[in-house]
Chain A
Amino acid sequence: MLSLPAQKFEEVIAFCKRGYPSEVCGLLLGKTKKVEQIFPARNLNQERASDRYELDPADFKAADESARRQCLEIIGFYHSHPDHPPDASQTDTERAWEGYCYLIVSVYKGKVEKIKCWRLNGDRMTEEKLEVTNG
């Protein structure tokens, strides 16, 4: 189960709405399975930003530096699926790494509809429970 504070949940939603109709992405910083900070990143795939994302490696490095300063870890990533469900696609699965969680946010016509959390297990993405907390 991934624990996400309500304030961070709202930040993810706002970022995904602002980016619509493009896919947006970012990193999740925290400890084990609790998100403590979100770190928006640039999507370098501007040619196909409506259906692809490629997180800027420089943003990954900046997030890693920030996490280490605060004794946090990069525990996962988030990205949006404009006008599509929050299910892990074949592309998401092929490009996923073990050890991280992946939040996928579906945004329909500019409104966030649903968020799901996924984790790579072997060659498949399996859904993980997402708990939005008040803390």
Chain B
Amino acid sequence: MAKVRIPTPLRTFTKGKDEVACAGTTVAEVLKNLDAEYKGIGGKILDETGNVRRFINVFVGATDIRHGDGVKTKVKENDVISIFPAIAGGIKARQIGPRSKSEGFAE
């Protein structure tokens, strides 16, 4: 089984576990099985079309799957799949506004 590394904001789904084991031969399969075990987590990682959400990054080993075959990227036994939030921001004149709920784990 592959090891799936869970980022802090998603550990509420995995009862605090930072890494879980999941079967599957592609990223899509592994994430489907992850969601079956930890209900709701899949929707925080994948969008309605089954692709990785814009502000989420998924690696298989050292490879960002956006630079490979996306969710069709092959997964081998003992591969490590890392899920990370995309971190960004910056200056804007308006300070401390409400947070948009259009993207991300917090939907």
Which residues of A approach B to under 8 Å, CB–CB?
23, 25, 45, 48, 51-55, 57-58, 60-61, 64, 73-74, 77, 79, 81-82, 84-85, 87-100, 102, 120, 122-125
Q: In the complex where A58-B64, A64-B84, A99-B9 touch, is A51 in contact with B57 (Cβ < 8 A)? A: no
Residue B55, interface by CB 8 Å? yes
A92 to chain B, nearest CB (A): 4
Task: Say whether B82 contacts A64, CB under 8 Å.
Answer: yes
Q: In the complex where A55-B88, A89-B92, A99-B9 touch, is A123 in contact with B101 (Cβ < 8 A)? A: yes
B65 to chain A, nearest CB (A): 11
A interface majority secondary structure: mixed
Q: In the complex where A64-B82, A88-B96, A125-B96 touch, is A98 in contact with B9 (Cβ < 8 A)? A: yes
Which residues of B approach A to under 8 Å, CB–CB?
5, 7-9, 11, 18, 55, 57, 59, 62, 64, 82, 84-92, 94-101, 104-106
* 30 residue pairs A–B, Cβ–Cβ below 8 Å: A23-B90, A45-B90, A48-B90, A51-B91, A52-B89, A53-B88, A54-B88, A55-B86, A57-B84, A58-B64, A60-B57, A61-B59, A61-B84, A73-B8, A79-B89, A79-B90, A81-B90, A85-B95, A87-B96, A90-B97, A91-B88, A92-B89, A95-B86, A97-B8, A97-B105, A98-B106, A99-B9, A99-B11, A100-B8, A124-B96
B15 to chain A, nearest CB (A): 15
Hey, which chain B residues are within 8 Å of A74, CB to CB?
7-8
Instruction: Give complex CA distance A25, B88 in Å.
Output: 9
A36 to chain B, nearest CB (A): 16
Residue A52 contacts which of B9, B88, B96, B105 (CB distance < 8 angstroms)? B88
Instruction: Give complex CA distance A100, B8 in Å.
Output: 8
Q: In the complex where A57-B57, A97-B85 touch, is A51 in contact with B90 (Cβ < 8 A)? A: yes
Hey, which chain A residues are within 8 Å of B84, CB to CB?
57, 60-61, 64
Q: In the complex where A61-B62, A95-B89 touch, is A87 in contact with B95 (Cβ < 8 A)? A: yes
Task: Say whether B91 contacts A57, CB under 8 Å.
Answer: no
Residue B95 contacts which of A51, A64, A90 (CB distance < 8 angstroms)? A90
Task: Say whether A25 contacts B87, CB under 8 Å.
Answer: yes
Task: Say whether A93 contacts B85, CB under 8 Å.
Answer: no
Q: In the complex where A57-B57, A64-B5, A99-B9 touch, is A94 in contact with B90 (Cβ < 8 A)? A: no
